[in-house]
Amino acid sequence: MDNLLNQIAGYKNEISAFTAADEKQVEEFRIKWLGTKGIVKATMGEMKNVAPEQKKEAGQILNEFKQFAEARYEELKASATGAVQTGFSIDISLPGDTMPLGSRHPVTLMRNRIVSIFQRLGFAVAEGPEIEDDWHNFGALNLPAHHPARDMQDTFYIQQNPDWVLRTHTSSVQIREMEKGKLPIRMLMPGRVYRNETVSARSHCFFHQVEGLYIDENVSFADLKQTLYFFVKEMYGKDVKVRFRPSYFPFTEPSAEMDVTCFICGGSGCNICKKTGWVEILGCGMVHPNVLSNCGIDPNKYTGFAFGMGIERPAMLKYGVNDLRLFSENDVRFLKQFTSAI
Ligand code: DAH
């Protein structure tokens, strides 16, 4: 047994010291040590000379020797084919490299917050295409060709087909939902919109909106106000005050804009609210009868309200972001600061 141990120790030294310059020498190594007439096989044959009480121990030693030779062969093979640079063995017990966890985009976080509040009131979510035809983006929304209110939004037209635009607002999705002809409708429509504006800290050529639409029999302006009151309370807290200002949108009549007391300064006046104490957060109104009939809905039977709000502005206020461009630059140093479960 001692003889055998000495012999194996010598073999191991020889195996460790062996280097192969090319694949031919690796093959020579294999034949010499691992071949059918190789040294490993011959050494294994020594088992028969070991005393019975030592057979178990000898078996383990011999097996370990065989694995040693095989491992060295794999190493030589890998380095000769260029897969591994040096003869280091691989430590499979080393912990793996963890994948860095991502985080949700702040616009997604704000979108999810807005959506989840309205979902609790029974609003379902719908989406529509970002490339729209003139009818869905303008015509059906009571903005016929040459209507002066088309200039309220600077539109990107698709050069190949002047009937196509990059949608300027999510109101186009209202039309798509109404055209489906399934009533009542209680929908929330988040998405990206495009306007031909100079990119700066305060404006961008694309941003995000959430549109809301509720159509049923006997829907009134009071329903609109209560729905939005609930939203503001959930979103900005119960102490925030709300005011409606009369406004104009071609697709609603009457139309209003809704302000909330500035949640930065609490209403006393700061840069965000331009010292007025109020921040505008959305446009809204009762869906214009022309819009209903454009979509095949009887305006004498059904009424409805609609509203639309931007996502970036509330996100900037909530997270203290002072430059709109940060949202679209994909700088990981910016993005990784946002963590949330929703
Ligand atoms: N589409 C308007 C915009 O982009 C926002 C808006 C105002 C949507 C009033 C509405 C609404 O649904 O009723 O400026």
Average pLDDT over residues 168-186: 97
- Whose C-alpha lies nearest to ligand 1, atom 2? 308
Predicted local distance difference test score (pLDDT) of residue 248: 96
- Report the half-sphere exposure of 93 (CA within 13 A, side-chain side): 0
* Amino acid of residue 98: T
pLDDT higher than threshold 80 for residue 82: no
Measured distance CA(324)–CA(201) in Å, rounded: 5
Report which ligand 1 atom has the smallest distance to the Cα of 174: 12
The finding on whether 141 has its CB within 6 A of some atom of ligand 1 is: no
Ligand 1 centroid to residue 304 C-alpha, Å: 14
Ligand 1 centroid to residue 274 C-alpha, Å: 23
Q: How many CB atoms lie within 10 A of CB 341?
A: 6
CA dihedral 40, 43, 44, 47 (to 10 degrees): -170
Average pLDDT over residues 122-145: 96
Average pLDDT over residues 220-230: 98
pLDDT higher than threshold 60 for residue 45: yes
Ligand 1 centroid to residue 248 C-alpha, Å: 10
* Backbone dihedral region for residue 102 (phi beyond 0: left; psi -120 to 50: alpha; all else: beta): beta
Measured distance CA(193)–CA(129) in Å, rounded: 10
Report which ligand 1 atom has the smallest distance to the Cα of 211: 12
pLDDT higher than threshold 60 for residue 85: no
Ligand 1 pocket, mutate which of 174, 186, 307 (most atoms under 8 A from CB): 307
The finding on whether 171 has its CB within 6 A of some atom of ligand 1 is: yes
- Whose C-alpha lies nearest to ligand 1, atom 4? 169
Dump pLDDT digits (tens) for 7-21.
999 999 999 999 888
The finding on whether 259 has its CB within 6 A of some atom of ligand 1 is: no
* Amino acid of residue 42: A
The finding on whether 285 has its CB within 6 A of some atom of ligand 1 is: yes
Ligand 1 centroid to residue 307 C-alpha, Å: 6
Report which ligand 1 atom has the smallest distance to the Cα of 171: 1
**Residue 193 and residue 328 in contact, taking contact as beta carbons nearer than 8 Å:** no
Dump pLDDT digits (tens) for 206-215.
999 999 999 9
* Amino acid of residue 171: S
Dump pLDDT digits (tens) for 291-335.
999 999 999 999 999 999 999 998 988 888 989 999 999 999 999
**Residue 252 and residue 288 in contact, taking contact as beta carbons nearer than 8 Å:** yes
Dump pLDDT digits (tens) for 266-292.
888 888 788 999 999 999 999 999 999
Ligand 1 centroid to residue 115 C-alpha, Å: 17
Dump pLDDT digits (tens) for 89-125.
788 888 888 887 788 999 999 999 999 999 999 999 9
Ligand 1 centroid to residue 300 C-alpha, Å: 23
**Residue 254 and residue 288 in contact, taking contact as beta carbons nearer than 8 Å:** no
Average pLDDT over residues 236-261: 95
pTM of the predicted protein model: 0.72
The finding on whether 313 has its CB within 6 A of some atom of ligand 1 is: no
